[in-house]
Structure 1
Amino acid sequence: MRRSRFSESQILSILKESEAGLEVSDLTRKYGISRATFYNWKSKYSGIGGSEIRRLRELERENGKLKKMYADLSLENNVLKDLIEKNFLKPAERKDFARQAHSKGLCVQSSCKAAGISRGSFYYTPSRNDDAEVKRQIELVIDSRPRRGFPKIFDSIRRKGYSWNHKKVYRVYKENEFQLNNRKKNLIRQIERKPMPEATRANEIWSIDFMSDSLSNGRPFRAFNVIDEFNREALDIEIDTSLPSLRIIRSLELIGSDRGFPRFIRSDNGPEFRSLQFRRFCCRNRIRHRRIEAGKPQQNSFIERFNRSYREDILDMYSFKNLSEARNLTLDWLIEYNYERGHESLGGKTPVEYVRSFLPFTPQNNSEGAKGKNCCLKEFV
């Protein structure tokens, strides 16, 4: 707002001239003001002295400062309300905010209103049970299997006989930051996929595959894995520096002598699985060999998922001095995998528990499979 050309002292002197008997028209002409301005001055400053004018000026200045201060505080209050009402603060942080406001002199009701909580929440003191035992059990599982996530950890704890529900265990799991930092995979374009044959009973489809690793001295070795797709049971893991076709056939024959041979064997297109000896083995035992398409390991997804578990729990976890150490650790892990570790795809049951809920499987009879004397020379896809 534009300031007046006349100060308060000048306005008082003009009003004194009017009181001395000078006409209003003469004053307006002399000082270049309108009659309305003169009468406004008279109604505002009539009967006020110079000291009172100075005091009035100081009051106006203080009033302006107070208005500015009120505007700033109102703006800060609105920002804090928006911050609280839009759930930027967690419930515990809201409670701390209310307690801090109360400690600075604000009453409980105003503090709770500003924080957006009830008075009951302000006075409530949680009575949480001791979580030390839950944390200790989680740490025990992580020490033995560091690459396991929460579902497997919770399943292991429940199998020990503890009755904590998943919400409590997961809260302790998150509070102590035990979660794994898994890198997210890039999303890929969805393509049309061909359905894979599914096993309907035990010992119907076996999946086989190779894995590679090395000893602490740098010497490489391979692992030949065999699982039953119906209940994800690990049938065998053969470990050696060299695993030709004849060694693979011998491992499969040992499994077949105990369980019977399956109707199908699923594998990739490795040279060991395309060899003449392996095809003869399949013909001799009337096994249909199903090889996946080149470059599509997802068609053999059961064994690929098993390979990941084996690599995380054993191959990546230990530095082997010799093959005997690798075989012993693998044998112990196989027992745990088949008898103690639950699978989400099996309803939380272990492979052995799952297969026991069905009728016992029967060995493969000779009524199905490849026929003819020259079947071993054919290549099954």
Structure 2
Amino acid sequence: MSRTQKGRITRHPFSDTLSSKFYGHPHRPMQIVSQTTSELRLQSVVERQRLMLPIGLLSVVVVGLGLAILAGAVNIPLLFIVGLFGFLGGTMLNDECKSEVLTLDRGADQLRCDRKTLWGTQQWQLPLSTLQDVSVVTRQRRRQKANGNEGTQWFYSLQFVAPGQAPQTLLYSHDGDSVNAAYRTIHDFLRTTHSATSATNAPSNLPSGQGIGLVMTSDYERWRQEIFTRSPEQAGGTSDERDRVYGVLMDMGMLDSSTSQLWAISMTAWLSGEASFFPTPGGAVIGLGSEPQVAEAAQTILQLAQTVLPNASPLPDQALPDQPDLVQFWLFTPGGVYGVADMLQRLRVPSNDWGQMFQQFSLIRQVAERQLDQR
């Protein structure tokens, strides 16, 4: 579970981390331009104040070169310095001027992205009906803080996956809230576009994993035991409503590619808005509910869990995943614990209600990992 300085690429939409090659990324918030029953259009907006620095650099280059020519002081070192500053200013200006319009057109069965740059417009598109996954992906960049410690900058984007085609990703942004809001809007639009089928909406009823061979600390074992003994009142609910979901636990099987060792990630969301993140090898973050976006995600998870409760089954034990990408959901009610298990690829279908719950847990994990990086 160690994280390198450049980040760690994972196979799931929780945290697709890469190193940044340039000076930074634009803030570029995403906005809804238009929304009807047949079409959704979103746009990333260029912030003009962010253009001041690159334009200033280019202006200095032009003025400096002009003065040098008038004074007859042009030489190779000067041209090298001017060229360096000109390249930096031009690269920054090109990056800041990029913008996108994302269109989901139900009538034309098309998902299209028009990306505008200083050099023209680029476009990619996918058939809307073949879209398998929409996920929030993150990018991190390590940097030195003023106090000498290392910190992490986070950038957010949306990724779209369709069979037989390379994943397509929008421009990255500092503004995680606008990206998450765009994701929820797209997800709601797609729910009315894709019909639910038994192949995509019906997970198997019972978790099959036994957690054999998992790397696990004693702290994790104690924490998990406490989760299964927590009362509705402790979670912000009441024992009177026998079928009211007051908590959800999600487990996901993971595999360390360097050692082939199996481990798991567990996360909780409670009716009170509280949440926690606890990998079986350690590295927990407890008490995440103080973050507003986490509390909101936890409430959304509980609402989704209440909706899918009729499709869950009573569970006989506290089994953990025994294979990578096996995902388990445990729904806690005063009348008992219910749940399902399914493989990750089936949960990445936009019309899958369990997949929506999975994506909300992904937001909780993003916050937890940011806190771990800042420790």
The normalised TM-score by structure 1 is 0.21
Give the structure with higher Rg (CA): 1
Higher strand share: 2
The normalised TM-score by structure 2 is 0.21
Higher helix share: 1
